[in-house]
Structures are given as C-alpha cells and as structure tokens.
Amino acid sequence: MLRKFMRKHDVTDLVMWLIGFGLLVVVFIGTYRTLASGKYENSVWLDFFIFGLAQGSVYALIALGYTLVYGILFMINFAHGEVFTGGVFTAYFFAIAMERAGFIDRHWVLALLILMAIAMTVSVMVAVVLERIAYRPLRGAPRLVPLITAIGASFFLQYTYRGIYGSGVKTYPDFPALDGKLNAFGREWPILTTQALVIVVSALMMVFLYWYVQKTKAGKAMRAVAEDKEAAALMGIDVDRVIVNTFALGGAMAGVAGILYALLFKQVNAFMGFIPGIKAFTAAVLGGIGNVPGAMLGGLFLGIVESLGPSLILDGLGIPAPYQLKDAIAFTLLVLVLIFRPTGILGERLSEKKA
C-alpha cells in the first residue's frame, strides 16, 4: 500500500506539506503569544496596519508593471525595479531645485504633479528603451535567455544610476503641507497625511489602469495580444506597438510609485529599486501573475503582512529585533506562495499557459 503510494507521489510532496504545516504552526504560536502578552496596544496595531496599507499601495503600483509585462510576454521583467528607481532618482534633482526656489512651499500640489510627471516620463523612457534594446531582439528565444538579459539589465541600470548620479543616499525635500496627521472634515484622523495621500493617489492610478485595460481600445488590444499574439496580429493589431505600450504603462505606474515611495520613506539611492522590485514581484505572484486586480490586492496584502508580521509573529517567538527580519518574511511568503499556490490568490491563467 505504502509502496504504491510512493510510486505515485514523491517523498518531496510530503516533505513540502510538512514544511508548510510547520510554518503555519510557528505563525500561529507566535501570533498567539504576542497577543496574549498584550505588549502592543490596539492603536499601535492600527498604525502598523495603515503603514502597511500605504507601503502596500506602492508595491501594488510596481507590481502592475510586472503583471502587465508577464501577461503579454510571459517573462519576468527583472529590471522593473530599476525602471522605478530611474524615475524617482531623476525627479530628485528637480525636487531639490523646486525646494530651493520655495516652489514646494507655495504650490505643493503643483510641485507634486510636476515631480510625478517627470518621474513617469523617465521611467517610461527607461522601460521602453529596455524593451527595444534588450528584450525585443530576444522574443522567441529560450526562456532562460531573456531572463538572464533582464538580470544583466537590472545591474547595468543600477550601476548606471550610481555612476551618473553618485552613490550616496539622497534625501527628498520635505512637503510641509503634508506634515502630521490628517485633518479633514473637522477632525483629526489616526493616519498621517502622507500615508493618506499615498493611498488615495495609488488607488486613483489603479482605477485608471483598470479602466484603461478594460475599456479603452489600446487596453483591449493589450488583452488580445496577451490571449494570442498570432491571432491578434492577424486581426491587424500591431503586436510590437502593444508590447511597447505595455512596457510604457508599467513604467508610468512605476514612476508614480517612485514619487509615492519618496514621500513615505524620503530617501533615494541607486539601488533603492531592487528590494521593492522583488517585493512587488512577490505581490504580483501573490495575486496571480498576469492578473491586474490580483497585483493590486497582492501588493496591499504583502505591505500589511510585512508591516504587521515582525511584531505579530516573530516577537511572540522571542526573536530579538524582529524588524530586521521583515524582508525575510516577504521572501518567505514569496517562496510559500510559489510552492503551494503558484497561480496566486486570484490567478487562474498562469499554470496551464506556461506549457
């Protein structure tokens, strides 16, 4: 009986379920002990949650770039994190110029819009050039080839930024209008104004993107190409153009995400895109890569888990300085999702299509 079972399944399946179960138990124990100890007050949890929501919306915006490109080309644009960096890092120089001119104090909304426009433009340019030089010639090559190219491009861009703009960490100027907690409708809300702004802007961007993909002609062409490139080409759709559009759209989202990131975390440098890039990829996978609403949900979920996780799970296990391990939580989540549910939370399109 057991032998028959073993012939049909591998030991490895069993091992994996054991690992999964073990981790679940660890999470449960950690959470229980943290909550039982009552170390944190409710308002602290709320702060964690809101912060998670804000950084999650940034992840979500970046994740859209991964998902859009994956949906069409079935490749992971490994360099997307650097598309993100390019915009926000370039915009930095305009930001300090505006600060020095006192423009940010006088017209902060306009200043923010200008910065976003600049970041979007640069990110779109980086994404489009990347597609043109590094990816387009490799369409149809074995899967490993564009992936290695993307990894190379990622490092090339990181060190290009470093070489041109310098290696130091730069601090974005302050937006005085956004300091402190949100005051609206005659009362103070338990949320920082910046966080509120980040959440609202990314929500708007996502609604725009959803509308664009679902309702516009360009969006429909995009979905057609994702479904079947050859058929779309036969229907008179310019596939190359649609692909460029996709990269541009992802770049634009990454550009906005960059400015929001700068509002939240203030600091930029040449390598800043790498970790958010991988996390956004995680978010995209969480939601089911290739699936637009999935990427949004995945981003928010990851942001919240990452913000709550260290205190909620690790603290209870008696691990010192749990916050150091927040990236490890994100990566563990990535690994777990890919192992146990590679199609993601919402996704259904990936697994069969890969064959």
Partner 1 sequence: MDKEIKFSWQDIIKYGVIGGIVALYVVLIGMVVTFKERYIIAETVNLGQIALFSPTFILAYFAANNARKLKSLIYAIVVGALVGAIVGVFVAALLVLASHVNMREVFLNVSPELLKILHFGQESLKGASLVIVGLNLIVGLVGGLFALAPRRWSNALLVGAALVTLMGILQELMSITFGTKDWYKPLGEFIYAKKGLSWGGTILFFVLGMLFSLWRSSPGLHPGARVAKLPPKQQQGVRIVSFLLGLAILVWLPKFLGSYPSEILTTVGIYVIMGLGLNIVVGFAGLLDLGYVAFFAIGAYTVGILTTTGKLATVGWNFWMALPVAIFLATMAGVILGIPVLKMRGDYLAIVTLGFGEIIRILVLSDWLKPYIGGAQGILQIPKPEILGYEFKGPQQIYYLVLIGILLVGYIAWRLRDARVGRAWKAMREDEDVAEAMGIHLVSTKLMAFATGAAFAGLSGAIFAAKLGSIFPHSFNLIVSINVLSLIIVGGIGSLPGVVVGALILVGLPELLREFADYRMLFYGALLVAMMLVKPEGFVPEKTHARELREQPLEPEVAPEAPAREAL
Work out whether 114 is an interface residue with partner 1 (CB under 8 A).
Answer: no
Work out whether 331 is an interface residue with partner 1 (CB under 8 A).
Answer: yes
Q: Which of 299, 273, 276, 277 is nearest to 288 (CA)?
A: 299
Work out whether 335 is an interface residue with partner 1 (CB under 8 A).
Answer: yes
Ranges assigned E (strand) in the chain: 170-171, 181-184, 187-192, 267-268
Binding mask 34-63 for partner 1 (x = CB under 8 A): ------------------------------
Work out whether 22 is an interface residue with partner 1 (CB under 8 A).
Answer: no
Question: In 10 A of CB 181, how many CB atoms?
Answer: 13
- How many amino acids of this chain bind partner 1 (CB under 8 A)? 53
Work out whether 138 is an interface residue with partner 1 (CB under 8 A).
Answer: yes
Least gap, CB of 260 to partner 1 (angstroms): 23
The span from the CA of 7 to the CA of 230, in Å, is 41
Q: How many CA atoms lie within 13 A of 231 on its CB side?
A: 8
Q: Which of 114, 128, 134, 182 is the binder for partner 1 (CB under 8 A)?
A: 134
Output 154 or 194, the one with its CB closest to partner 1: 154
Output 239 or 278, the one with its CB closest to partner 1: 278
The span from the CA of 319 to the CA of 326, in Å, is 12
Q: Which of 177, 223, 240, 332 is the binder for partner 1 (CB under 8 A)?
A: 332
Give me 14's structure tokens.
Answer: 């069993």
Work out whether 242 is an interface residue with partner 1 (CB under 8 A).
Answer: no
Report helix, strand or coil for 192.
Answer: strand
Least gap, CB of 154 to partner 1 (angstroms): 7
Work out whether 157 is an interface residue with partner 1 (CB under 8 A).
Answer: yes
What would the 3-class secondary structure string for 200-255 be?
Answer: HHHHHHHHHHHHHHHHCHHHHHHHHHHHCHHHHHHCCCCHHHHHHHHHHHHHHHHH
Segment 248 to 287, residues that bind partner 1, using CB under 8 A: 278, 281, 285
Work out whether 342 is an interface residue with partner 1 (CB under 8 A).
Answer: yes
Residue 260 contacts residue 143 (beta carbons within 8 Å): no
Q: Which of 46, 148, 203, 231 is the binder for partner 1 (CB under 8 A)?
A: 148
Output 207 or 335, the one with its CB closest to partner 1: 335
Question: Exposed, middle or buried: residue 298 (CB in 10 Å: 0-12, 13-18, 19+)?
Answer: buried
Question: In 10 A of CB 140, how many CB atoms?
Answer: 7
Stretch that binds partner 1, among 31-39, 160-168, 178-186, 297-305 (CB under 8 A): 160-168
Output 116 or 329, the one with its CB closest to partner 1: 329
Work out whether 203 is an interface residue with partner 1 (CB under 8 A).
Answer: no
Question: In 10 A of CB 63, how many CB atoms?
Answer: 37
Give me 310's structure tokens.
Answer: 């260290």
- Give the residues lining the site for partner 1 (CB under 8 A): 10, 12, 15-16, 19, 75-76, 93, 133-134, 137-138, 141, 143-149, 151-160, 163-166, 278, 281, 285, 319-321, 324-325, 327-328, 331-332, 334-335, 338-339, 342, 354-355
